[in-house]
A and B are shown apart, each in its own frame.
Chain A
Amino acid sequence: MSAPSTRGETRLVPDRLQGRAERLLKSWEALLLAVAIAIFALNVWSSPYFLDPWNLSDATFNFTEKGLIAFALALVIVSGEIDLSVAAILALSSTLMGLAMSHGAGTPEIVAIGLLTGLACGAINGMLVSGLGLPSIVVTIGTMSLFRGIAFIILGDKAFTGYPVDFAWFGQGYVWWVFSFELLLFVVAAILFAVLLHATSFGRMVYAIGNNAVAAQFSGIRVERVKFLLFLLSGLMSGLAAVCLTSRLGSTRPSIATGWELEAVTMAVLGGINILGGSGRIGGVVLAALIMGMVTFGFGLLNVPGIVMSIFVGLLLILVIALPKLIGRLGRAKRKA
């Protein structure tokens, strides 16, 4: 028997708490888009050199390779894992590409070796994490030293130079006008990863695992296999980034891409990927890549010392992460009052 007070009254039960438009407006991507537009406007306002097609084209190289890594890393993080070995995989891929080149390999072989090395490294990470059930942060800190260590053993203080002329196209070539091959690759990868994460059952499995791996397991998702595939993908994208960066630098040293794992993680987290797993969208990562690239280039145009850039990116990261929490608290305080 129901209470008499509610009898006869109609109650509205919304099937979602916010409307589609409102949700979109309050989303992380909207916030990032606002930040990106603000930074773009600031750059235009502060330097006469910013709005030049070729200058902007040069600036895209600041984020394309890191972005390629960040896309795959975003998926790994959504699944509740992390891959800190991405930069080391890049270094090892680049080193083995150089080794192949020094033994007379042509451009197709060099590229294949770069990608395969990435896949192999990813497979090692994947096997250790999903096969042995080890925590990914420990595994990838270990393989980070391992992969880069091998690169150092092969190269020491030397460098591989003299890549074939046509190999330079991957990192220095242009598809049309100011649009570089790397930028095209970045756009294509963004679309592919967005589809994979947001429009396939595989993507939904990744979210499910990130939210509750045990529940996902019981609902029939082969958790370990998905995780293995994610590490494989992360390795492959690191190998792809290695092809691009090696081609752009025209040389390989074992110290190549030092510290990029943290920049890729920063990109993912700034892009709204929950570091604890379970949520985040590829669109956010794309915007975060653009923001970081524009900040680096804009400050560079003003000859602001690099350390100020690091401070700015750090502040931006803390700010963007803290903002939703602060807004939530403010909202609660208002409701109480």
Chain B
Amino acid sequence: MGLLKKMLVMAAVSTALVANVAHAENKKIALVVKALGIGFFDAANKGAQEAAKELGDVDIIYTGPTDTTAEGQIEVINSLVAQKVDAIAISANDKDALVPALKKAMERGIKVISWDSGVAPEGRMMHLNPSSNPLIGNMCVKMAADNLPEGGDVAILSAAATATNQNTWIEEMKKVLPNYKGINIVATVYGDDKTDKSYTEAQGLMKAYPNLKAIIAPTSVGIVAAAQAVEDAGMTGKINVTGLGLPSEMAGHVKSGASKSFAIWNPIDLGYAATMISYNLVTGKEEAKPGAELSMGRMGKVKLDDKNEGAMADPFVYDAKNVEEFAKIF
């Protein structure tokens, strides 16, 4: 009996947690993220909500698995297909493993796009890159090099070894390296987007490479952990942590000097643009095909290349001058 009662209480709690009670006539657009509880994706949801408000007849379902696994995302996709949502806009944990599940979604009439971290072309209608990969890779190295006029050893602290976007950016970083004299990438380590593991990996880097001058972490979890590790080791000023991070999480570390600058596109804009594109595909107003220009509301238009991919905007650099202002936003 006690069990049954508790179950009912649980059910009541879970029903109360359901944020979106959908209206039948509203378009249901699901924003699926790598994992819930990550500041970057919460900000993207803010943008999606903004777009929904602007459009009027849209309900946003903001969801994702607990861990950044493909299997978890497939479970989420299956339940979205079951709910007969109109569109799925996903940031993928694995560009290949999601393909069968997303293909099935498309077969049942759901519009599927990927954003941030892409899905292989056969598993989505188009992919919205936050920026272009070469520009991001270049920006990461540039931010490290700007503070190292003499050059020096640089290490990369990435997310999971399988993360699609991080791997692409690291490739691009290595491509532009010859343009920055004296900058050596000595190691690439993986913190799996977990704070504790990233922190330990950063400590390991400092121990293994005594001449280390900068850590580039192209992940919002890794960069904070690395900055904290540098501060705790008393290496502030000697090792500069840079890469991609969230202003609200990095403001303290910019203030302390552990990070001189970092970059990110605006996740609010990204969630907003993904929602706008999904909506236009659902209403049939626009079609995702090579060469098409899809409108993204206040973000202008995105032109699709031959793989149905498009870039939203350039990455934006944050430093001591502007980080406080943006920290309030996301």
A residues sitting closer than 8 Å to B (CB atoms) are: 31, 34-35, 38-39, 42, 46-47, 49-50, 52, 54-55, 58-59, 61-62, 152, 156-157, 159, 161, 168, 171-172, 245, 248-251, 253-260, 296-297, 299-310, 312, 315, 319-320, 323
Q: Is the CB of B63 within 8 A of A305?
A: yes
Question: Which residues of chain A are within 8 angstroms of B94 by Cβ–Cβ distance?
Answer: 159, 249, 251, 253, 255
Question: Which residues of chain A are within 8 angstroms of B284 by Cβ–Cβ distance?
Answer: none
Taken residue by residue from 75 to 96, chain B's Cβ proximity to chain A (1 for < 8 Å, 0 otherwise) reads as 1101111111000000000111
Q: Is the CB of A250 within 8 A of B97?
A: yes
Number of interface residues of B (CB under 8 A): 49
Chain A residue nearest to B161 (CB atoms) is A157
Interchain CA distance A312-B63 in the complex, whole Å:
17
Question: Which residues of chain A are within 8 angstroms of B75 by Cβ–Cβ distance?
Answer: 62, 296-297, 300
Question: Which residues of chain A are within 8 angstroms of B67 by Cβ–Cβ distance?
Answer: 258-259, 306
Q: Is the CB of A249 within 8 A of B63?
A: no
Interchain CA distance A182-B11 in the complex, whole Å:
30
Question: Which residues of chain A are within 8 angstroms of B8 by Cβ–Cβ distance?
Answer: 42
B10, B62, B79 — most chain A CB neighbours (10 Å): B79
> In the assembled complex, how far is the CB of residue B97 from the closest CB belonging to chain A, in whole angstroms?
4
Interface residues in B91-142 by Cβ distance below 8 A to A read 94-97, 99-100, 120
Q: Is the CB of B66 within 8 A of A249?
A: no
Question: Which residues of chain A are within 8 angstroms of B62 by Cβ–Cβ distance?
Answer: 303
Interface residues in B1-45 by Cβ distance below 8 A to A read 2-4, 6-8, 10-11, 14-15, 17-20, 35-37
Q: Is the CB of A58 within 8 A of B82?
A: yes
Question: Which residues of chain B are within 8 angstroms of A312 by Cβ–Cβ distance?
Answer: 10, 14
Interchain CA distance A309-B35 in the complex, whole Å:
13
Question: Which residues of chain A are within 8 angstroms of B161 by Cβ–Cβ distance?
Answer: 152, 156-157, 254-255
Question: Which residues of chain B are within 8 angstroms of A301 by Cβ–Cβ distance?
Answer: 79, 82-83
Q: Is the CB of B96 within 8 A of A161?
A: yes
Q: Is the CB of A251 within 8 A of B14?
A: no
Contact of B322 with A by CB under 8 A: no
Chain A residue nearest to B35 (CB atoms) is A306
Q: Is the CB of B160 within 8 A of A306?
A: no
- Contacts A31-B3, A302-B15 hold; do A254 and B79 have CB atoms under 8 A apart? no
Contact of B72 with A by CB under 8 A: yes
> In the assembled complex, how far is the CB of residue A331 from the closest CB belonging to chain B, in whole angstroms?
14
- Contacts A49-B83, A302-B15 hold; do A251 and B97 have CB atoms under 8 A apart? yes
Q: Is the CB of A59 within 8 A of B36?
A: no
Q: Is the CB of A42 within 8 A of B11?
A: yes
Interchain CA distance A50-B15 in the complex, whole Å:
15
B residues sitting closer than 8 Å to A (CB atoms) are: 2-4, 6-8, 10-11, 14-15, 17-20, 35-37, 61-67, 69-72, 74-76, 78-84, 94-97, 99-100, 120, 160-162, 167
Q: Is the CB of A55 within 8 A of B3?
A: no
> In the assembled complex, how far is the CB of residue B136 from the closest CB belonging to chain A, in whole angstroms?
17
> In the assembled complex, how far is the CB of residue B314 from the closest CB belonging to chain A, in whole angstroms?
26
Interchain CA distance A54-B81 in the complex, whole Å:
10
Known: A256-B70, A323-B2. 10 other contacts (CB 8 A): A58-B78, A61-B78, A249-B96, A296-B75, A302-B17, A302-B18, A305-B64, A306-B64, A307-B37, A310-B66
- Contacts A300-B76, A304-B14 hold; do A35 and B7 have CB atoms under 8 A apart? yes
Which of B4, B20, B76, B95 is the one whose CB lies under 8 Å from A38? B4
Chain B residue nearest to A60 (CB atoms) is B78
Which of B7, B14, B162 is the one whose CB lies under 8 Å from A299? B14
Question: Which residues of chain B are within 8 angstroms of A161 by Cβ–Cβ distance?
Answer: 96, 120
> In the assembled complex, how far is the CB of residue A291 from the closest CB belonging to chain B, in whole angstroms?
11
> In the assembled complex, how far is the CB of residue B71 from the closest CB belonging to chain A, in whole angstroms?
7
> In the assembled complex, how far is the CB of residue B222 from the closest CB belonging to chain A, in whole angstroms?
15
A-B contact pairs, 14 of them (CB 8 A): A34-B3, A61-B74, A62-B78, A152-B161, A159-B94, A161-B96, A245-B71, A251-B97, A257-B71, A303-B18, A303-B62, A306-B66, A307-B36, A307-B66
A156, A157, A171, A297 — most chain B CB neighbours (10 Å): A157
Chain B residue nearest to A300 (CB atoms) is B79
Interchain CA distance A230-B205 in the complex, whole Å:
42
Q: Is the CB of B99 within 8 A of A251?
A: yes
Chain A residue nearest to B17 (CB atoms) is A304
> In the assembled complex, how far is the CB of residue A179 from the closest CB belonging to chain B, in whole angstroms?
16
